[in-house]
Protein backbone atom coordinates (compact mmCIF):
# COMPACT_ATOMS: atom_id res chain seq x y z
CA UNK A 1 0.00 0.00 0.00
CA UNK A 2 1.33 3.37 -0.99
CA UNK A 3 0.57 6.29 1.29
CA UNK A 4 1.32 9.96 1.19
CA UNK A 5 1.96 12.46 3.95
CA UNK A 6 1.42 16.08 3.06
CA UNK A 7 0.46 19.29 4.77
CA UNK A 8 -0.46 22.80 3.76
CA UNK A 9 1.30 25.94 4.84
CA UNK A 10 1.09 29.56 3.88
CA UNK A 11 4.00 31.43 2.33
CA UNK A 12 3.55 35.18 2.65
CA UNK A 13 5.56 37.73 0.68
CA UNK A 14 6.26 39.63 3.88
CA UNK A 15 5.08 40.18 7.45
CA UNK A 16 2.55 42.85 6.52
CA UNK A 17 0.32 40.06 5.15
CA UNK A 18 -0.10 38.67 8.69
CA UNK A 19 -3.02 39.70 10.88
CA UNK A 20 -2.31 42.55 13.29
CA UNK A 21 -2.17 40.06 16.22
CA UNK A 22 0.31 37.82 14.43
CA UNK A 23 2.45 40.79 13.38
CA UNK A 24 2.67 41.70 17.05
CA UNK A 25 3.96 38.23 17.94
CA UNK A 26 6.51 38.29 15.14
CA UNK A 27 7.78 41.73 16.21
CA UNK A 28 8.16 40.34 19.75
CA UNK A 29 10.16 37.36 18.38
CA UNK A 30 12.44 39.70 16.42
CA UNK A 31 12.94 41.85 19.51
CA UNK A 32 13.68 38.71 21.55
CA UNK A 33 16.78 38.02 19.40
CA UNK A 34 18.37 40.88 21.36
CA UNK A 35 18.11 38.83 24.56
CA UNK A 36 19.89 35.81 23.06
CA UNK A 37 23.19 34.71 24.60
CA UNK A 38 25.03 33.30 21.61
CA UNK A 39 28.74 34.16 21.87
CA UNK A 40 29.77 30.85 20.29
CA UNK A 41 27.54 30.71 17.22
CA UNK A 42 26.79 34.43 16.86
CA UNK A 43 23.36 33.24 15.75
CA UNK A 44 20.72 35.09 17.75
CA UNK A 45 17.30 33.44 17.79
CA UNK A 46 14.12 34.89 19.26
CA UNK A 47 10.75 33.27 19.87
CA UNK A 48 7.47 34.69 21.12
CA UNK A 49 4.21 32.99 22.06
CA UNK A 50 0.70 34.27 22.49
CA UNK A 51 -1.01 32.38 25.29
CA UNK A 52 -4.69 31.53 25.59
CA UNK A 53 -5.24 34.59 27.83
CA UNK A 54 -3.66 36.89 25.21
CA UNK A 55 -0.39 37.32 27.12
CA UNK A 56 2.86 37.35 25.11
CA UNK A 57 5.91 35.46 26.42
CA UNK A 58 9.37 35.52 24.81
CA UNK A 59 12.41 33.25 24.74
CA UNK A 60 15.85 33.26 23.12
CA UNK A 61 18.74 30.85 22.68
CA UNK A 62 21.09 30.62 25.63
CA UNK A 63 24.45 29.04 24.88
CA UNK A 64 26.98 27.43 27.21
CA UNK A 65 30.76 27.12 27.36
CA UNK A 66 29.96 23.42 27.23
CA UNK A 67 28.27 23.68 23.84
CA UNK A 68 25.66 20.88 24.06
CA UNK A 69 24.31 22.41 27.27
CA UNK A 70 23.01 25.43 25.34
CA UNK A 71 19.31 25.64 24.60
CA UNK A 72 17.37 26.91 21.60
CA UNK A 73 15.01 29.88 21.73
CA UNK A 74 11.96 27.68 21.15
CA UNK A 75 12.63 25.40 24.12
CA UNK A 76 13.63 28.32 26.34
CA UNK A 77 10.21 29.73 25.58
CA UNK A 78 8.26 26.48 25.94
CA UNK A 79 9.93 25.67 29.27
CA UNK A 80 9.24 29.17 30.50
CA UNK A 81 5.55 28.98 29.56
CA UNK A 82 5.25 25.49 31.04
CA UNK A 83 6.68 26.58 34.36
CA UNK A 84 5.24 30.09 34.68
CA UNK A 85 1.82 29.52 33.09
CA UNK A 86 1.14 25.79 33.33
CA UNK A 87 -2.62 26.27 32.91
CA UNK A 88 -2.44 28.29 29.71
CA UNK A 89 -2.07 26.87 26.22
CA UNK A 90 -0.08 28.49 23.42
CA UNK A 91 -2.17 29.77 20.53
CA UNK A 92 0.60 31.11 18.30
CA UNK A 93 4.37 31.02 18.31
CA UNK A 94 6.68 33.13 16.11
CA UNK A 95 10.40 32.50 15.58
CA UNK A 96 13.02 34.78 14.02
CA UNK A 97 16.80 35.15 14.01
CA UNK A 98 19.67 37.53 13.45
CA UNK A 99 23.12 36.15 12.59
CA UNK A 100 25.91 38.58 13.47
CA UNK A 101 26.93 40.53 10.36
CA UNK A 102 24.73 38.48 8.03
CA UNK A 103 21.35 38.82 6.36
CA UNK A 104 18.21 37.40 7.89
CA UNK A 105 15.87 37.29 4.92
CA UNK A 106 14.60 33.69 4.88
CA UNK A 107 12.29 31.91 7.34
CA UNK A 108 14.09 29.97 10.09
CA UNK A 109 13.36 26.25 10.48
CA UNK A 110 13.31 24.83 14.04
CA UNK A 111 15.68 21.97 14.92
CA UNK A 112 14.45 18.43 15.51
CA UNK A 113 14.64 18.65 19.30
CA UNK A 114 12.46 21.76 19.33
CA UNK A 115 9.99 20.10 16.97
CA UNK A 116 9.57 17.31 19.54
CA UNK A 117 9.06 19.86 22.33
CA UNK A 118 6.51 21.73 20.26
CA UNK A 119 4.65 18.50 19.57
CA UNK A 120 4.75 17.63 23.29
CA UNK A 121 3.28 21.00 24.14
CA UNK A 122 0.49 20.66 21.58
CA UNK A 123 -0.40 17.21 22.91
CA UNK A 124 -0.22 18.36 26.53
CA UNK A 125 -2.88 21.00 25.94
CA UNK A 126 -4.73 19.24 23.14
CA UNK A 127 -4.56 22.38 21.04
CA UNK A 128 -2.63 23.11 17.84
CA UNK A 129 0.00 25.86 17.94
CA UNK A 130 0.11 28.14 14.92
CA UNK A 131 3.77 28.53 13.92
CA UNK A 132 5.13 31.67 12.22
CA UNK A 133 8.64 31.33 10.78
CA UNK A 134 10.52 34.36 9.55
CA UNK A 135 13.79 36.20 9.22
CA UNK A 136 14.10 39.85 10.14
CA UNK A 137 12.55 40.58 6.75
CA UNK A 138 11.39 38.70 3.66
CA UNK A 139 8.99 35.82 3.21
CA UNK A 140 7.07 34.42 6.16
CA UNK A 141 5.87 30.83 6.55
CA UNK A 142 2.76 30.06 8.56
CA UNK A 143 1.85 26.51 9.68
CA UNK A 144 -1.43 25.71 11.37
CA UNK A 145 0.05 23.10 13.70
CA UNK A 146 3.51 22.26 15.03
CA UNK A 147 2.72 18.59 14.36
CA UNK A 148 3.27 19.35 10.68
CA UNK A 149 6.93 19.92 11.49
CA UNK A 150 7.39 16.40 12.81
CA UNK A 151 5.62 13.74 10.72
CA UNK A 152 5.27 10.42 12.58
CA UNK A 153 6.53 12.11 15.74
CA UNK A 154 6.66 10.24 19.03
CA UNK A 155 3.58 11.37 20.95
CA UNK A 156 3.99 9.13 24.00
CA UNK A 157 0.67 7.31 23.50
CA UNK A 158 2.59 4.01 23.30
CA UNK A 159 3.84 4.59 26.88
CA UNK A 160 0.31 4.35 28.30
Residues at the contact surface with ligand THU, assessed by CB under 6 A: 38, 41, 43, 45, 61, 63, 70, 72-74, 108, 110-111, 114
Q: Which one, of 85, 27, 78, 75, lies nearest residue 54 by Cα?
A: 85
To the nearest whole angstrom, how small is the minimum distance from the Cβ of residue 5 to ligand THU? Answer: 22
**What b/e sequence results for 87-103 when a residue is b if at least 16 CB atoms lie within 10 Å of its CB, and e otherwise?**
ebbbbbbbbbbbbeeee
CA-to-CA distance for 81 and 122, rounded, in angstroms? 13
Choosing from 17, 74, 106, 139, the catalytic residue is: 74
Closest CB 104 distance from ligand THU, rounded Å: 12
Instruction: Pick between residue 53 and residue 112 the one whose CB is nearest to ligand THU.
Output: 112
120 vs 159, beta carbon nearer ligand THU: 120
* Cβ distance to ligand THU smaller for residue 130 or 160: 130
Query: At closest approach, how far in Å is the CB of 25 from ligand THU?
Result: 16
Whether residue 74 lies in the annotated active site: yes
Query: How many alpha carbons lie under 13 Å from residue 58 in its C-beta half-sphere?
Result: 19
Which residues are within 8 A (CB) of 137 and not within 5 positions of it... i.e. 6 or more apart? Answer: 14, 15, 104, 105
What amino acid positions are annotated as catalytic residues?
74
Amino acid sequence: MRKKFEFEYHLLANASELSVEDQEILVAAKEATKTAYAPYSNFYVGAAARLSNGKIVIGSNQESTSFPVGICAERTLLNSVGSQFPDLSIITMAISYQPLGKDSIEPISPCGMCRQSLLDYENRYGAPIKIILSGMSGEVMVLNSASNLLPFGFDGSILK
